A and B are shown apart, each in its own frame.
Chain A
Amino acid sequence: MDLLKSFKDNCGFGLLANIKNIPSHQNLQDAITALERMMHRGAIAADKKSGDGSGLLLSMPKEFIKKIAKEEAGIDLPKQIAVGMIFMRNLNQQEVIDRICEKNDLKVLFYREVPIDTTALGQQALETLPRIMQVFITTNSLVATKRFEALLYLTRREIENALKDDEDFYIASFSNKVISYKGLVMPTHIKHFYKDLNDPDFKISFALFHQRFSTNTLPQWRLAQPFRTIAHNGEINSIAANRYNTFMKSEDLESEVFSKEEMERILPITQKGISDSASLDNMFEFLIVNGMDFFKAARALIPAPWQNAPHMDSKLRAFYEYMSVCFEAWDGPAAVSLTDGRYIGCILDRNGLRPAKYVVTKDDRIIITSEYGVLDIDEDLIVERGKLKSGEMIGVDLKFGKVMKPKEIDDYLKDANPYDKWLMQNVTYLQEFLEVPFSKTDAYELDSLKKRQRFHNITEEVIEMVIEPMIKDGKENTGSMGDDTPLAAFSEQQRNFSHFFKQKFAQVTNPPIDPIREKVVMSLNTGFGEIKNILKETPQRATRLKSISPILMEEKFEILKSFGDPSKPRYKECYKNKTFSTVFEKDLKGSLEKLVKEIVRSVKEEGVRIIILDDRGDGENIKAIPMAMVVGRLNKVLLEEKIRHLTTTVAVTGEAYDTHSCALLVAYGANAIYPYLLFATVNEYLKKQKVSPYQMRNMFKNVYSALNKGFLKIMSKMGISTIASYRNSSLFDVIGLSKEIVDDCFCDSVMLLPGLGYEDIENRLNRYYNEAKEVERVEMLFPLKIGGFYKFIHKNEFHDFGPLVTNAIHRASITGDKKDYQTVQKLINQRGLKMIRDFFEFKSDREPISIERVEPKEEIFKRFATAAMSLGSISPEAHEALALAMNKIGGQSNSGEGGEAPERLKSEKNSKIKQIASGRFGVTPEYLRSAEEIQIKIAQGAKPGEGGQLPGHKVTPLIASLRYTIPGVTLISPPPHHDIYSIEDLAQLIFDLKQVNPDAKIAVKLVSSAGVGTIAAGVAKAYADKIIISGGDGGTGAAPLSSIKFAGNPWELGLSEAHNALKVNNLRGMVHLQTDGGLKTGMDIIKAALLGAESYAFGTAALTIIGCKILRICHLNRCSVGIATQDERLREHFVGTVDRLINYFTLVAEEVRELLASLGYERLEDIIGRSDLLKVVDHPKAKKFDFSSILMQTPGVNTCQVDSNKPFDENKFEKDILKKVYSAIENPSSPIVVTEQIKNINRSFGALISGEIAKYYGNNGLPPNTITFKLKGIAGQSLGAFLINGISIYLRGAGNDYVGKGMNGGKIVITPQTQGELFSCAGNTCLYGATGGKLYVAGSVGERFCIRNSGAEAIVEGTGDHACEYMTGGVVIILGETGINFGAGMTGGVAFIYDQKHNFIDKLNQDLVYATRIDTDERDEERHFIKKKLREYINETGSKKAQCILDNFRHTIRDFWMVIPKDMTKVPLNPEEGD
């Protein structure tokens, strides 16, 4: 795979239809208008013409094609007619089409060159413009319409297969029902480009439309959407697994539509080299063509979350459970519009991560789009303005002219077959046969336990750091700081095979999810048994053995085996099992092949269905082939042999004892794992503790539950919800294994630094085995190895921040003495081949120069920054020392996210970089305005894809005040930014920030991972000014140990990939690149520069300079050197000084100068990106690895060439208004009222003006109502973002997503023209991270309302799912229905819900909050507070509903719930005061 040219895409999308199926040209016009109005959701090139592609999938314009057939070919079209829309190059391709059509009994009537106007195209589009042809096809003989459709599909697939090597050949559509007009054109130009679209006779009844935002700048015509059946906004996170599974399911297909022979011609279902969305389209189309019901197919591929949804109708759950046997979710953020020609529909992913909003009109139109207001529809015409909630589907049956609401679709699905009965009869749950789990712990008594533990690297450290916390706390251990050990491939110590793999995680183009707060959408349900024909619904298809987790304990394992053992009464042939030992003597590769061959034979000849791989050996020989290798190889071979669908694999292994190693096996194909050695270790541990049998069971269960939580965590990092979608996903980067091994066993993963082969691995295994056998040779009092992987142990794994280095850095920083610094240099620069950069040495093309000629250190300081560390994670003393020192030398310090005291903002203690992360703590207009650079932290090296927590005991009064919360309240940062689920969302946030502070550079922090180059290119296209590539070794204040260790790659890999990907995409000149991760010396800086970094951030090193001793206890608030703590007694021990920082950075800068002189260069600028000045060291160890991808050179500029990466949208709208209101800013005593029309393209309204006010007045802003806006229409995204005191926005109409995001003061009032439950007034994620102000909406709002609100007061009439998630402050009143998962992770603030239907409690997430009635004497204060607020709300909005509640207050008050966090005793009703 070419990482530099690969891409990901997100977009704006929608559909429009006439419900009565009446075609009109106006429909087409409207679809195009809607598309144009979402242009800000796509990418636009500098020429304002080139985009990443857009298109329309239209109902067949029958009138039009009849006309042109007559006019252009003189043909009267027959009734059965199909039109193919084809991108082609040459006549040969035409011949293939003719030939295959004829073979399939189809007749090509004529070809038509589609009339186009190329002046509508940008340069790049023009260069790649294909010949766009339409082919008109009919049947040769009389066939039914159904058969005609089948033949069209068959023919198309055959043509595609025949021409699969012609990259420029593409069939955009080939149908009798729909036709596609798409290409590399901007929505505004599509009508100019396709002349057909201007013909008034071109009448359509529906359209799917789409605008693409690709992360690269090498868009292709074929990649434009919509596809033949869908248009997708989002990303399929589980795509690798879905593609693999599609192949697996294709092994045994029986269709009622196609014969076996025809099926052969159709396969494979998904084509190679296409996008995730295109694969989904392939699959959906395949199911539909083969006769699967439209709605069933849609819901089979994108199911609602049903596993942990007790509120769901049981029959509907049965439908989903039945479908889940054959279909795993295509999981990820998705809003998909689909059509088969008769039905059109739109479906939202299970977690509601994309917006899908709809409007139904009185003139029978339905429009579903990413945003409201893309068509200017008279409000009087609107019957309903709604939106889809998580996992919902809406559809239209065009035949009967009927809108099908989610409820109707569900009712239809659940009654389509007696699924519940089928399941009752055929599904067996292992749990049913299990009396008490972990009651038979004798089974965990193992012979040669110590030898096994030694062989599998279970050290005392592992027991203490990994296993014991699982036993005690039932969850994975938390650690802190970063990983400073070498890659497994470079290590000289015993390392696990799983260490060669780094977890993948979501960043920017897709969001991670929260496995704790949003676990309602997740599941680990695991099934055993074969996959039957997916095209036919039979009761037998439900036959499955099921477990709720892929982790088996002895009892479950025995039960599972009993079903496959002919000597047992439970035996069923379909579960027949056989155990295969993975132990080997010698010849690793040969043994692996032999084993796999034997398994294949057993499956084919003996009918084995459950493959049990067992590495226990006989106690004597326990040297086993790495289990991941066996599982991966087997997964590949079984598929090649087309027997994968028959089998399930169970790994009985000593290798799996942490969450990482377990997830690894599942990702490469294992269905279940029996981690016997882990349990044996736990057993030994507990026996020693002499606990009661009851405690023993509970502690075993703790371990079990910890592993399950670990699975959820690892899946959630990649945004995957169910284990079925994670299995076979290969979601790891493989670092340091040879191409041969990766090709054989892990072929769907990205291979980095190809290196160690079978022989090397075998040598290592031999060594480990010999060392394991040591216990038999020597009497050891303590027979385990001690460890050294997590913490430094003498003569064990290398740690870059070992005691000597730490002491040396302390010394050099105190003395500033060059001699002392030389000790550091020696320890780091001559540490041996530990880190990737150690394998490179200089080879300059110039003679050394005198150091006097090199730029002064002040120039170099400008490129230094400290890494983001929030006040909260570190003490005020440490935070201020970093800021002072960096300001003094002219570098940049980074606030981290968590606010900064106002008095610092205008002093020399101001951090130049202000961070904005997913928690949005303390992110106010003043904070943002005080920044020279605003850094959006997408991911953090130590824990990419995860959120964080600041435990209550660290929230001191100072921290609480900066974060707008209450001391002692735990603060949770969610894993994703809830306003960034895709690249166009990031573009929106960047746009927001550029409004609120037009002077600041906007930086985006990413973490090194294969594919980060693609992301970086996308980020550059989203108008970021700077991109930070963080190494996976970066530090943290607290993170799960496995995240610190096993997620995120070294920065060298990511930096080089990003630098080159930006160059390939001609984007390097638009952005500045920074890197961080374990940088300590000038040598590190120079190497980072040569690989493409223009600036450099120091995290752990900076802390070490101010006294950090690498204690790795930051998460415990016990830092003895007063850095990572808020405890005043400990802070007295802080020894850091500004001088120490200056001393050390001076030494580093001087080393940089010396090295520059030795290279013969005067300025750092001149060597950036010059990887040609590096060469691989001459050392046998270096020869093992291929470093070429890191040292590669691509043509183009190497550094940023622009001052600022200016967005396409100049926001003229607000700029003009700012001029009008400027007088009020200058003179707040004369208030001003401005009346305006607003459209969805007017985004972030209020941010620019708020920023301008903050610049002069700080967060105090202006007196209330100094500036009042009276707006009419549909506002664009982020209305009132970062709004400040003094501004009031009255909107008559509706808002889109992110209303009041980051709002600090002022007021937003939204009232629709027509009130009522059917009228939604604002989109998703409103008031995200708000710190103050008021939002009144006389209507309902979208998902995740008030998420992370810490101070705003809000009143609305209904919300979507996950309302008040992570809320830490503020007051929310909801006068209507909410969605599910209300109050998840809510640790502060208060919410009142008017629950007229008495169903609220089912929707409440009761983990942290509880609901209580307020119609009691005790709650008298609250009761009257509500009344007061209702009056205020009615005054502002004129809400009829509120009036009605107030009028009947004596009755209605009974139906109010108050929701408050469990650990808050007193409710602050006045958010300004807190409590």
Chain B
Amino acid sequence: MQNFINLERIEPKKRSSNERKKDFKEIYEVYKMDEASPQAERCIQCGDPYCHNKCPLHNFIPFWLKSTAGKDLELSFKISNETNPFPEITGRVCPQDRLCEGACTLNDGYGAITIGAIETFISEEGFKQGLKPSFKPLVTDKRVAVIGSGPAGFSAATYLLRAGIGVDMFEKASKPGGLLTFGIPNFKLDKEVVFRRFRWLEEAGLRLHLNTEVGKDISFKDLLEKYEAVFIGIGAEKSKRANIENEDAQGTFLAIEFLRNIQNKIFNLPHDSKYNVEGKRVVVIGGGDTAMDCIRTSIREGAQSVKCLYRRDEENMPGSKKEYKNALEEGAEFIFNASPKKIVVDEQRRVKAIQMQKTKLGEKDESGRRRMQIIEGSDFTVDADVVIFALGFDPLVPKFLEENGIKTNEWGGIIVDENYETSKKRVFSGGDCYRGSDLVVTAAFDGREAAKHIIEKYFK
């Protein structure tokens, strides 16, 4: 270990931007052992593992780096899969540069360990060699209902099944995975990666009820009666808008809807052709990972041009630097320090352009982030055929919550105690529907912890 002094950070091979723009296949290759192992060997094995501390799942990163360096794939696989319900997914979709890799000691001047890529490698290579997550045979007839198959529910189900507790999962969509399947484009996460996990869960005793919406196809009360506990992981699906004039004009999309439709198209499922951006000038508003997803999806969908408008500067973009870079490579254009003022429409209320104002950054606020100030009279317009709002999400609050006395907060988030239990006994929740739009990895953490508490409280 500590080989950082002899070897630089080398990221996994990436397909060239020209090539990858043409399809929706993943752009990164998975490391080979002889690439992953030397990269892992760069790890310092700090006394204070900052990566592990920063990771929302508190994955035992230094441990599996060490075993990967020692080419002990099995050990790496086990340690990595113990704390993480789907390491090969977080390895692909986590914004590592803000989390583990950002905190990595070597990130100061040496280049952080390629933690995400190695994490993906460990499980992918492990699967290749026949390693599989293992589950305990069901130990009880009592089961748990999980509402939503997104990262939180997915994670909760995984840990419940490991303890030999049967899970029934209710998903209103026709495919499982929630945001993983419909919110993250294929070029970042191949859907087979998600479905593979679900197949294993089903082998272990998961009953997956697709196309089943709770409150519509089955009542929440039924669940409460039939199941020992219920976990709600319905995510936050309500896209935020910019609150500007004409924001509902024809040619304005909400990010999640846009992405879902394209995904449906790829699945050959029914989809709405209004989201077709081929040959159009696309402007994406927002600077997060979802914005990048929309940009890169638009490029792949054959947009004439794709511009990204962001209120703050490059430095302050909330999304992963890696994705920003990929978007740039693929031909996106970025306009920083610009805040949308109004959508300019034609007679048919079709998007024509977007009017922007310049901004500057002021003093720090309490959270340490610099305040954004509008520069008056700095208006300018950007021509556009399509405007996509990627400004974050709020939870969509289903009726059954209130009906069953499950309390939510002012912005619709489900309120839970320190054990992830809601105001209603036996009902647990986690993920974006509790914390607001956040990361896959935080949802996975919530699901894992909630499962532990469900087991602790109702199955011991």
Contact = CB atoms under 8 A, between A and B. Distances in A.
Contacts of B81: 781-782
Nearest to A1118: B2
A1116 B78 contact: no
Nearest to A804: B53
B45 interface: yes
Contacts of A561: none
A12 B105 CA distance: 56
Interface string A146-175: 000000000000000000000000000000
B5 A1112 contact: no
B134 interface: yes
Contacts of B4: 1118, 1120
B48 A1110 contact: yes
The number of chain A residues touching the other chain, given as a range, is: 35 or more
B52 A793 contact: yes
Interface string B101-123: 00101101110000000000000
Interface in A1111-1137: 1111-1113, 1116, 1118, 1120-1121, 1127, 1129-1130, 1133
A1130 B5 contact: yes
A460 interface: yes
Of listed A460, A782, A1118, residue having the most chain B CB within 10 A: A782
Interface stretch (A115-123, A614-622, A794-802): A794-802
A1127 B110 CA distance: 15
Interface stretch (A772-780, A1026-1034, A1223-1231, A1270-1278): A772-780
A1109 B48 contact: yes
Contacts of A363: none
A1110 B53 CA distance: 14
A793 B49 CA distance: 8
A1113 B2 contact: yes
A794 B82 contact: no
A460 B79 contact: yes
A5 interface: no
A1118 B58 CA distance: 25
B48 A1120 contact: no
Nearest to B4: A1120
B50 interface: yes
B38 interface: no
B406 to A, nearest CB: 28
Given A779-B135, A779-B163, A1113-B2, A792 B48 contact: yes
Contacts of B9: none
Contacts of B63: 460-461, 464, 786
A803 interface: yes
Nearest to B163: A778
Contacts of A660: none
Contacts of B60: 460, 786, 793
A780 B49 CA distance: 23
Contacts of B82: 780-782
A1021 interface: no
A1131 to B, nearest CB: 12
Given A780-B82, A1133-B108, A1111 B48 contact: yes
A1109 B46 contact: yes
Given A781-B82, A1118-B44, A803 B53 contact: yes
Contacts of A460: 60, 63, 79
Given A781-B78, A1110-B46, A1111-B44, A794 B134 contact: no
B46 A780 contact: no
Nearest to A464: B66
A688 interface: yes
A778 to B, nearest CB: 4
B47 A1111 contact: yes
B371 interface: no
A939 to B, nearest CB: 23
A460 B49 CA distance: 15
The number of chain B residues touching the other chain, given as a range, is: 35 or more
Interface in B18-46: 44-46
A17 interface: no
Contacts of A1109: 46, 48, 50, 105
B162 interface: yes
B48 A791 contact: yes
Interface string A826-865: 0000000000000000000000000000000000000000
Interface in B77-131: 77-79, 81-82, 103, 105-106, 108-110
B441 to A, nearest CB: 14
A779 B134 contact: yes
A1127 B4 CA distance: 13
A806 interface: yes
B48 A802 contact: yes
A1120 B52 CA distance: 18
A818 to B, nearest CB: 16
A1090 interface: no
B302 interface: no
A782 B46 contact: no
Nearest to B55: A794
A1093 interface: no
A272 B50 CA distance: 55
A777 B58 CA distance: 23
A745 interface: no
B105 A781 contact: no
A430 interface: no
B322 interface: no
B332 to A, nearest CB: 34
Given A688-B72, A1109-B48, A782 B79 contact: yes
A814 interface: no
Contacts of A1129: 5
A786 B136 CA distance: 21
Interface in A758-780: 777-780
A481 interface: yes
Nearest to B64: A782
A1129 B46 CA distance: 19
A801 B47 CA distance: 9
A792 B134 contact: no
Given A794-B53, A794-B58, A1133-B108, A779 B48 contact: no
B74 interface: yes
A1129 B5 CA distance: 8
B47 A792 contact: yes
A464 B49 CA distance: 15
Contacts of A1133: 108-110
A779 B164 contact: yes
Interface string B178-195: 000000000000000000
Contacts of A802: 48, 53
A460 B136 CA distance: 22
A801 B50 CA distance: 12
Contacts of A1130: 5
B133 interface: yes
Nearest to A1112: B47
Contacts of A806: 48
Given A1109-B46, A1130-B5, A792 B79 contact: no
Contact of B74 (A688, A791, A1127): A688
B113 to A, nearest CB: 12
B5 A1127 contact: yes
Nearest to B164: A779
A1118 B5 contact: yes
Contacts of A781: 77-79, 81-82, 133-134, 162
Contacts of A777: 163
Contact of A792 (B49, B78, B136): B49
Contacts of B163: 777-779
Contacts of A799: 48
22 contacts: A481-B47, A688-B72, A778-B162, A779-B135, A779-B162, A781-B79, A791-B49, A792-B48, A792-B52, A794-B52, A794-B53, A794-B58, A801-B47, A802-B48, A803-B103, A1109-B50, A1110-B47, A1111-B46, A1111-B48, A1120-B105, A1121-B108, A1129-B5
Which 7 residue pairs of A and B lie closest in terms of their CB atoms, listed nearest first?
A1112-B47, A779-B136, A782-B82, A794-B58, A1118-B2, A782-B78, A803-B53
